[in-house]
Amino acid sequence: MSTAIKGGEFIIKDVHHNDIFTPEEWSEEQLMIGQTCDDFIIQEITPLLDRIDKMEEGLMPSLVQKAGELGMLGMSVPEELGGMGADFKTSLLATERLGKGHSFSVAYGAHTGIGTLPILYYGTAEQKQRYIPKLASGEWKAAYCLTEPSSGSDANSGKTKAVLSEDGKHYTLDGQKMWITNGGFADLFTVFAKIGDDKNLTAFIVEANSEGITLNPEEKKLGIKGSSTRQVFFNGVKVPVENMLSERENGFKIALNILNIGRIKLAAGVLGGSKQSITDSVRYANEREQFGRSISKYGAIRYKLAEQAIRTFVVESAIYRAGQNIDDAIADLIAGGMDKEKATLKGIEQFAAECAILKVAGSECLDYVVDEAVQIYGGMGYSAESPVERSYRDSRINRIFEGTNEINRMLIVDMILRRAMKGELDLMGPAMKVAGELMSIPEMTDAPEGPLAEERTALAGFKKVVLMVAGSAVQKLMQTLSKEQEVLMNIADIAILTYQAESALLRVEKMIEKGGEAAASVQIAIVKTFFYDAADKIAKAGKDAVLSFAEGDEARMMLTGLKRFTKGSATNPKATRQLIAQKIIDDNEYKI
């Protein structure tokens, strides 16, 4: 496996399909882990969904504990601390398979992610020994206390205070946290507070039975009703000094790095939800008859099924591509002498932009899929008797969790530009080359060959759009770019579509090489249709951005370039969607 690509480099580098991991390559052991997770959802969660949503006392913590007994909570935890020591992409697979567990998947994600990982990656040896085995087994449940009534997206503005005692033995915590997932049953909190006039937060490990901790009643929510969400109050809570996590003022960095992990994990979780909702959609469409035949025979329904599958397949391709890139980066850092925890954080941090891309793409894919699932069910979809009503409500939080999609879009551009400014990513050279190309006659180059030749050419154009628009925006707006949120979001949308398009293209090129063109006909249709639509979306986002900061000849030149770089292909979208839909209809489930 090549380790050549770095975070953000997809914009400027040609990637070969042999340099990525695809879901067709899971080992038998990984597939067994996936099956264990599937079985757990089918046997332990799905039959209890109504009881879970009614917040039956003690039910959710007992289910989290059962998952711990099966090893699901310790996927990322080293064996010496009671876990499985699986690599990063295997932890993504488990998260995907458990992602169809509705409120349970939220409790699971919070416990294994933001609940456990701050201690695993930043804790001292003593802190890890004391807490991680209990969290990996499910004996203890964890929560993460960052958000406050006055600090949401601006997390570092929190007002919770930590004051050191005169004898220097403990800190006293005072403050209020809200939207705390697992708050109602957690045994352990990671709490972020400010010491004195510090600019940045400091993190503390706080045991839930500490005196001075009180909880508000459970929040009443639109969806994920079975997930415990409470406000937590800290009134004179004494925390031993040895329970400071990492160093003073390192809390904000911990929060940011853990959120990077949370973003790609969220993408994996919503992928599982998307696949389940497609299966629900097609089973209903095959059973439901109107005008004398099943509704799955009608073009309007087939369009929906195909589009659900296209978006899901593309997101899946991007998630596991990034997961392997992160594993490779971690392996390189360990080989260079770094310890595993630091290497894991550094490897994920390197792909922070991709994690943000996946969070946005995944959550918006699931929202599309569940919305169309309700539409396919028609009136029944609006009934709480149908499985898709709960999916529709539960999906909505994902565009807010782990940083809103708007914040994540701006972060994508910011993180890539920061890497360029640090000299970790050469964006300026390729951007200047594209700028020069705008003023010259297009060169004739050898066209790619094969069933996806047009898409390979289109991808090169998409990357040029990112470079042209971002490069021009940086030059034109300079220091004010960070305030131009509309432009940043346009650039982010181009990058998100480009990353997904390339990921799906590489995956299907690999499938063609291994199994031949005929065996990959449905997947080829998916890539062709996604590129067909992406070209127009990229052109629109590019045009919106260009006209926001350029005018006259400069704008005309870039708009001409935009047309050249987003020409698209002559794909027949009706035919490709019919082919994709037929596969799902015949299988009576999502199995692509």
Which residues are identified as catalytic?
A: 402
Number of Cα atoms under 13 Å in the Cβ half of residue 82:
19
**Alpha-helix residue ranges (DSSP H) falling in 422-480:** 428-438, 453-477
d(CA 359, CA 348): 14
Residue 429, both tokens: 């050279």
Place of tokens 């309700």: 374
d(CA 141, CA 187): 5
DSSP state letter for 95: H
Residue 21 has φ and ψ, to the nearest 5°, of: -95, 140
d(CA 303, CA 309): 10
What letter represents residue 479's amino acid? Answer: Q
Measured in Å, how far apart are the chain's first and last C-alpha atoms? 24
Residue 373, both tokens: 């699932």
Q: Greatest CA separation found in the chain?
A: 82
Q: Give the number of other Cβ atoms within 10 Å of residue 352's Cβ.
A: 25
d(CA 295, CA 434): 48
Number of Cα atoms under 13 Å in the Cβ half of residue 591:
10
**Alpha-helix residue ranges (DSSP H) falling in 25-116:** 28-40, 49-53, 59-69, 88-98, 103-110
CA angle 413, 309, 592 (to 5 degrees): 110
d(CA 588, CA 447): 39
Using CA atoms, how far residue 295 sits from 291, 334, 520, 574, in Å, is: 9, 54, 27, 17
Q: SS3 of 190, please?
A: strand
Report which secondary-structure segment, H or E, holds 167.
none
Cβ-contact 511, 519 below 8 angstroms: yes
DSSP state letter for 148: B
Place of tokens 């289910």: 63
DSSP 105-122: HHHHHHIIIIITHHHHHH
Cβ-contact 98, 108 below 8 angstroms: yes
d(CA 264, CA 357): 9
Residue 101 has φ and ψ, to the nearest 5°, of: -95, 15
d(CA 348, CA 352): 6
d(CA 205, CA 188): 7
